[in-house]
């Protein structure tokens, strides 16, 4: 910008350039907004709360209860002896229902590891009666109470309802299936069986109604190795 050249004898008058006001106003407004937001968030934070972490620390349940009675060391040893006696001797089976693996042990020795199938965890509703079935493989310790060659499956109601059929009357020949369970069956309480399958490609998946399915070779090994009364640990 060029300044005007004053005429000789006249004072120099410099008119300052007109300052723009809006950037300042904008800055001021932003500052005010930030202040309000900060104050509001501080107020909200004061009104609310959040999670804070600290290392796990718990009081002693015995210190909290002065009348609490504790067993004697001798009683503790008796309990430990009982626990030790519960350890499986001889052949026993574990079934990992998450990874679908069945293992046969003799003491600490692993005799066989097999891919199996376990329960889906699905729930089936009967549209007529409202009954429902949960297709879980039960967890915990279960004994082998029976062993059969060429087991016959007495199909329960859910086997028909699941396929959309009305269940035949009890004792009907339609209820008996001598193919689906394979060549061997090891029976646990409540109708849960370790048995074979026609659907071998599904081994390793949770697809059953609660039973444990095995391939033919593994099933034969388990049938021949695991005696009646052996314990099965499902977890």
Partner 1 sequence: MSSSTRRFLWALAFFCTSAAVGAAEGRPARTPEELRLVELEGQLARSPIVYLVLDPAAKVLDIRVRGIVIERVELQGLELLTYRPLFGDAEAPPLAIPAVWTITQGPGDTDREVIAPVRLRPYPKDGEEEEEESPPAPTPIPSGDEGDPEGEPRATYRVQLDNEWQLYVVNAPPKLDLWRRYLAAVHDGWERLRGRQPAHPALIALVLPEETALRLHHLFRAKMPLLVGDGAATVR
Binding site for partner 1 (CB under 8 A): 41, 43-62, 64, 68, 70-73, 75-76, 79-80, 82-84, 86-88, 94, 96-99, 120-128, 134, 139-142, 160-168, 174, 233-235
Nearer to partner 1, 7 or 190 (CB): 190
Per DSSP, the three-state class of 235 is coil
Residue 43 or residue 229: which is nearer to partner 1 going by CB? 43
To the nearest whole angstrom, how small is the minimum distance from the Cβ of residue 43 to partner 1? 7
Q: Rounded to whole angstroms, how far apart are CA atoms 92 and 233?
A: 8
Nearer to partner 1 among residue 75 and residue 198 (C-beta): 75
Give me the least distance between CB of 148 and partner 1, in Å please: 23
Nearest CA among 110, 114, 132, 112 for reference residue 123:
132
Q: Which is closer to partner 1, CB of 168 or CB of 227?
A: 168
Give 170-186 as a DSSP string: TT-GGGEESSTT-SEEE
Using the minimum distance from each CB to partner 1, give the nearer residue, 175 or 196.
Answer: 175
> Exposure of 29 by Cβ count < 10 A (0-12 exposed, 13-18 middle, 19+ buried)?
exposed
CB of 176 to partner 1, least distance (A): 12
In terms of phi and psi (left: phi > 0; alpha: psi -120 to 50; beta: otherwise), the region of 143 is beta
**Closest to partner 1 by CB, 30 or 40:** 40
CB of 20 to partner 1, least distance (A): 36
Q: How far is the CB of 90 from partner 1 (least distance, A)?
A: 14
DSSP code per residue over 31-43: HHHHHHHHHHHHH
Q: Which positions ≥6 away from 196 have C-beta within 8 Å?
A: 181, 182, 183, 184, 213, 214, 215, 216, 219
Give min distance, CB of 210 to partner 1, in A: 13
Task: Assess contact for 117 and 203: CB atoms under 8 A.
Answer: yes
């Amino acid at each position: 910008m060029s300044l005007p050249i004053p005429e000789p004898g006249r004072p120099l008058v410099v008119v300052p350039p007109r300052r723009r006001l809006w950037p300042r106003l904008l800055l001021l407004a932003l500052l005010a907004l930030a202040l309000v937001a900060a104050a509001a968030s501080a107020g909200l934070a004061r009104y609310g709360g959040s999670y804070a972490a600290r290392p796990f620390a718990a009081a002693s349940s015995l210190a909290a209860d002065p009348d609490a009675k504790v067993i004697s060391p001798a009683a503790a040893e008796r309990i430990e002896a009982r626990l030790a006696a519960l350890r499986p001797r001889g052949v026993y089976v574990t079934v990992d229902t998450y990874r679908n693996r069945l293992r046969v042990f003799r003491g600490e020795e692993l005799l066989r590891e097999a891919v199996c199938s376990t329960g889906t965890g699905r729930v089936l509703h009967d549209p007529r009666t409202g009954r429902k079935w949960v297709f879980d493989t039960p967890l915990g310790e279960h004994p082998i109470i029976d062993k059969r060659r060429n087991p016959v499956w007495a199909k329960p109601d859910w086997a028909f309802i699941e396929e959309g059929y009305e269940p035949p009357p009890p004792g009907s020949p339609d209820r008996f299936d001598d193919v689906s369970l394979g060549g061997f069956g090891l029976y646990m309480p409540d109708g849960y069986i370790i048995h074979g399958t026609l659907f071998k490609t599904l081994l390793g998946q949770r697809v059953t109604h609660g039973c444990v399915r095995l391939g033919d070779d593994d099933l034969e090994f388990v049938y021949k190795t695991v005696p009646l009364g052996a314990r099965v640990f499902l977890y």
